[in-house]
Structure 1
Amino acid sequence: MSCLSKILVLFFILFTLAAAGKKKSPNIIFIMSDDHTSQAIGAYGGRLSGLELTPNIDKLAAEGIRFENAFCNNSICTPSRASIISGQYSQTNGVLDLDIALPEEKQYLPKELKKLGYSTAVIGKWHLHIEPTAFDYYKVLPGQGKYFNPTFHEKGKGDYPNNKVKSEGHSTDVITDLAIDYIKNLDKSKPFFLMQHYKAPHDFFEYAPRYEDFLADTEIPEPASLYYQPNWGSEGTRGKNDNLREYIGTSVSNRHFYRNYNQHYNGDTLQGLDATHQAYQKYLKAYLRCVKGVDDNLGRLFAFLKEEGLWENTVILYTGDQGMMLGEHDLQDKRWMYDETMRMPFIVHYPEMIERGQVTDLLINNTDFAPTMIELAGGETPEYMQGKSFINTLQGEDETDWRTSTYYRYWMHIIHHYVPAHFGIRTKDYKLMFFYGKHYLPESEFKNHYWATQYYGIEKETPHTWEFYDLKNDPEELNNRYNDPRYKEIIAQLKKELKTQREELNETDENYPEIKAIIDKHWND
């Protein structure tokens, strides 16, 4: 063998050894269900944990890490999803409510992962009102989509939005089938990033027929605040002397004049406590049957990943796009800053990095998801993202210079579920909220809007009040302590932090002078 040949052979051997020693970047599957609240996941404990709802998600948590303090910055579908994709808060990414699209140029997460060599796809619910062009492949529901025989927009099937294809079956089953088929047919020489997003368990909770008997003979535990909570709320959420009790916040009982589950499920044939009880039982059973369908399908997906040899080198993240009121405070839907809807379930499974059975109380929010996934893929958090990576926590290490509070804001005011516009701040132990009670659009622009013809009184202001909760001693937020002198110094500190965060996050309402005037007037109330 010539000298040159020996050199080439040696070079080949060294190259092969180097390639073998180089670890492949992990695949990333980001699974999100719509409105799946942590109260309806066994691993999070609580009153529903004994119902055997989510064995597959519970096992995922037991083999990975469960976040106890994961929160959204706006508990409504489109803004929360926009924050996840962009890593930015609402005033920065521009998506304040359900009707605003996230611009293509701000679909940052898939763009950054493509730079790192990933193939990217989104399958299922998208709900950002514009074509997901930043992904290599998409097959997404139009808007909310249908529970049964859903139609999808699919890349490669024509020009958007006319690229519609039909399917048969329940959406949860269909979306899982599509995800599995997509992974089967991927080029496995490069890592993949898949956003697998379910419609379930969004209302009105159409579950697959096979779940009709699930929980049929079970009495679902009920929250005490469904019936009794004399110290909860403020004039901003109940009105003066409870004069807005029938108007603010859609209800399970027949409290709300227009939107309540007693009317929906019982047709007003029942009244009083029995009506509330029956409506709650029907509501929860329908919701939880949708949850059960999601969990069963995740079991199918996980089994497939193991069969394909993908389990060990795939990061699986599971969450909901926000929480959900399951009767707490006699409320339904989400939108509120109360913990049941602000808190997101968040579980990460990655055997090659994360030690089994970890639980963390690190205070994270949905703007942190994209930076963390980017760093898991080997990249660095872009400067334009306002969220922060918590990859150190996944590695079993401490975070440095981490936030001690998280900011929240609901913009829409009364629309759909009669929730007043509000913002606030949450620490691990306390929560401070301000209900400013006014839509961000000026009345002259708002009064001819579609919403104004659908919902009574939404152009009106509701009372401007503060609420404060001591979460350590009152985790169910039953006692508003804002006027309790024992908390005066703590509230002052929280207001200072709230003002700082609003300035740092571009949330100062300089473009909304009517709202700014309300805030300035009532800041020191």
Structure 2
Amino acid sequence: MKNFEFIVLLFGVLFCAVSCSTQNEQRPNIIYIMSDDHTSQAFGIYGSRLAKLNPTPTLDKIAGEGMIFDNAFCNNAICTPSRASIITGQYPQTNGVLDLDGEIAPERQYLPAEMKKLGYQTAMVGKWHLKQEPAAFDYYSVLPGQGDYYNPTFRTRGSKQWPENTIKMTGHSSDCITDVTLDWLKNKRDKSKPFFLMHHYKAPHDMFEFADRYKDYLEDTYIPEPASMYYNGENGSIATRGENDELIHDIGSSIGHRNTIRNMGMHMDIDPNLPDPEYKHLAYQEYLKRYLRCVKGVDDNLERLFAYLKAEGLMENTIIIYTGDQGFYLGEHDYIDKRWMYEESMRMPFFVRYPKMIEAGQRTDAIINNTDFAPTIIELAGGKVPDYMQGHSFKTILETGEEPANWQKSTYYRYWMHMAHRHANPAHFGIRTKNYKLIFFYGKYWKDTRVESNIEGWGNRYGFETPVAWEFYDLKKDPQEMKNEYNNTAYKPIIAELKKQLKTKRAELNEEDADFPHIQEVIDAHWDD
């Protein structure tokens, strides 16, 4: 009898082990890849003026084997808030990260925590930028802050308290980050479990330090230039240009001489005595070559990563997601950096490859944003989206290629860091649909302060307050956003409807300004302007 009971027990244990192992093998691995400031203009698949340069052949191939999203957006085009929304599935006022000073504590690192509940082994490699220890991950090796392009230091888990456990590597950061990920995949992961890996590059963030092997890449190539770099039409308003354009030299860092505080020519070692347009042309050409050399380094390193996955038989059962942490300006409107709600800054590249679910060669214009990433990843792993997440899963879009009838028709955006970091962008919020964009510039920092800038000759002019204005763009008619149509009476009914939707969305998303009465005062005074 005892022998019989033992055999039954043994059989049960073996059956459970086989069943659990089979279940884990069937569940997909998920790799979320994100490059810092890799904008949609710098791909072949998005058909920009740079597509013919073929800067991303590896990524273009992966994208073509899955689904490309043409309307993926961030809710705040700056590193820390965007990453906070991705890791929490929440908007800034809910997760508490409004600007670059924000941080996410381990207990609020919701995405890896939810994935661990589902039986996934989790890892975070590369740029983290959320200050506190990424302790919710089983494994991490992350750059301190922005990190270094060359010979980077990584913070790891160890015997000492965070952030004292570090390793120093030799080489370019894109190479080193890929080396760390490959080492984890080969030697450190538990191969009995599915894995969720966040693989984040520092490149191509400024100041665009590329690996030496790319110094001749594009050297003798003319980089196509955006027309709006030289002629900005009727883009903007008094909030971005000032009365009679009196603020164009102060607001929005530039390529050429327009911005007297920060322009790309200063960083590209262009002779400051040269006048525009020659100065602007030379600055742009050098800027784009350095930027695209960093992009090339990312693309080549991902070829290494994908080659390993193929060699190990992991490629077909691994969901590959690629994106940037926001968009980035490559000279459009004579801007550099990001922060704006305009397209080049707000739009994120985003595509997903998973042959078992997603038919190759698909595109969608369904609107998604970075709060939707975590819910989607959780559902792809077989889980249920937790109620505390504000984003929505678009798993059904990946499965069917169709946008559900009840899918979101718009997305919300807000930039909080008023006139910060010499880029000097006014604070604003707004709503974007597939056809239209409405932006409200309220001209104040989220903290109730009037501390003046410490930049000589700048802060003394207007401190931290700028003019208030609305902007409206018809994106079907004017995809480059060259004409602010807010005062065009033909659009009055559309603008009124968008204001109604914007007000509703701010309430639904916990993005109103009850805690910031100095801002709410401006909103109330100018809502009906």
Deviations 1:491-522 (A, max 9, x none): 00000000000111111100100100001100
Distance 1:7 1:489, change over 3 A: same
Alignment match, 1:73? 75
Distance 1:233 1:131, change over 3 A: same
What is the CA-CA distance between 1:320 and the residue it aligns to?
Answer: 0.2
Alignment match, 1:229? 232
Q: Which amino acid aligns with 1:355?
A: E
What is the CA-CA distance between 1:100 and the residue it aligns to?
Answer: 1.4
What is the CA-CA distance between 1:263 and the residue it aligns to?
Answer: 2.6
Preserved CA contact (<8 Å) 2:376 2:393 = yes
Alignment match, 1:355? 359
Alignment match, 2:432? 426
Alignment match, 2:146? 144
Q: Secondary structure at the match of 2:266?
A: helix
* Structure 2 gaps, min length 5: none
Alignment match, 2:304? 300
What is the CA–CA distance in structure 2 between the aligned matches of 1:520 and 1:388, rounded to whole Å? 30
Alignment match, 2:42? 40
Q: 1:17-416 residue pairs with structure 2 within 5 A?
A: 22=23, 24-156=26-158, 158-185=160-187, 186-265=189-268, 266-396=270-400, 397-416=402-421
Distance 1:12 1:101, change over 3 A: closer
What is the CA–CA distance in structure 1 between the aligned matches of 2:446 and 2:39, rounded to whole Å? 28
What is the CA-CA distance between 1:59 and the residue it aligns to?
Answer: 0.3
After the TM superposition, which parts of structure 1 deviate over 3 Å for at least 4 consecutive aligned residues? 2-23, 452-456
What is the CA–CA distance in structure 1 between the aligned matches of 2:255 and 2:426, rounded to whole Å? 18
What is the CA–CA distance in structure 2 between the aligned matches of 1:181 and 1:355, rounded to whole Å? 31
What is the CA–CA distance in structure 2 between the aligned matches of 1:16 and 1:409, rounded to whole Å? 49
Deviations 1:227-257 (A, max 9, x none): 0123111000101110001000000010001
Distance 1:398 1:425, change over 3 A: closer
Distance 1:312 1:414, change over 3 A: same
Preserved CA contact (<8 Å) 2:39 2:324 = yes
What is the CA-CA distance between 1:284 and the residue it aligns to?
Answer: 0.5
Deviations 1:134-154 (A, max 9, x none): 111111101000000001111
What is the CA-CA distance between 1:6 and the residue it aligns to?
Answer: 9.9
Preserved CA contact (<8 Å) 1:390 1:399 = no
What is the CA–CA distance in structure 2 between the aligned matches of 1:224 and 1:164, rounded to whole Å? 46
1:467 corresponds to 2:471: yes
What is the CA–CA distance in structure 2 between the aligned matches of 1:280 and 1:201, rounded to whole Å? 16
Q: Which amino acid aligns with 1:491?
A: I
What is the CA–CA distance in structure 1 between the aligned matches of 2:224 and 2:500, rounded to whole Å? 40
What is the CA–CA distance in structure 2 between the aligned matches of 1:15 and 1:248, rounded to whole Å? 64
What is the CA–CA distance in structure 1 between the aligned matches of 2:409 and 2:365, rounded to whole Å? 11
Preserved CA contact (<8 Å) 1:254 1:263 = no
What is the CA–CA distance in structure 2 between the aligned matches of 1:87 and 1:424, rounded to whole Å? 19
Q: Secondary structure at the match of 2:217?
A: coil
Preserved CA contact (<8 Å) 1:439 1:459 = no
Deviations 1:10-63 (A, max 9, x none): 979977886687462111111000000000011111100000100000000110
Q: Secondary structure at the match of 2:26?
A: coil
Deviations 1:298-326 (A, max 9, x none): 00000000001110111110000000000
Q: Secondary structure at the match of 1:395?
A: helix
Distance 1:157 1:285, change over 3 A: farther
Q: Secondary structure at the match of 2:125?
A: strand
Q: 1:455-494 residue pairs with structure 2 within 5 A?
A: 456-457=458-459, 459-494=463-498
Distance 1:520 1:4, change over 3 A: closer
Q: Which amino acid aligns with 1:35?
A: D
Deviates more, 1:412-421 or 1:14-23: 14-23
Q: Secondary structure at the match of 1:315?
A: strand
Distance 1:522 1:183, change over 3 A: same
Q: Secondary structure at the match of 1:165?
A: strand
Distance 1:264 1:5, change over 3 A: closer
What is the CA–CA distance in structure 2 between the aligned matches of 1:491 and 1:228, rounded to whole Å? 26
What is the CA-CA distance between 1:460 and the residue it aligns to?
Answer: 2.6
Q: Which amino acid aligns with 1:180?
A: L
TM-score, reference length from structure 2: 0.95
Preserved CA contact (<8 Å) 2:149 2:173 = yes
Preserved CA contact (<8 Å) 1:157 1:164 = no
Alignment match, 2:442? 436
Q: Which amino acid aligns with 1:165?
A: I
Q: Which amino acid aligns with 1:431?
A: K
Preserved CA contact (<8 Å) 1:353 1:394 = yes
Q: Secondary structure at the match of 1:139?
A: strand
What is the CA-CA distance between 1:162 and the residue it aligns to?
Answer: 1.4
What is the CA–CA distance in structure 2 between the aligned matches of 1:19 and 1:150, rounded to whole Å? 39
What is the CA–CA distance in structure 1 between the aligned matches of 2:470 and 2:242, rounded to whole Å? 13
Preserved CA contact (<8 Å) 1:411 1:421 = yes
What is the CA–CA distance in structure 1 between the aligned matches of 2:78 and 2:14, rounded to whole Å? 55
Alignment match, 2:454? 453
Q: Secondary structure at the match of 1:312?
A: helix
Q: Which amino acid aligns with 1:69?
A: N
What is the CA–CA distance in structure 1 between the aligned matches of 2:393 and 2:273, rounded to whole Å? 52
What is the CA-CA distance between 1:349 and the residue it aligns to?
Answer: 0.8
Distance 1:18 1:271, change over 3 A: same
What is the CA–CA distance in structure 2 between the aligned matches of 1:128 and 1:210, rounded to whole Å? 31
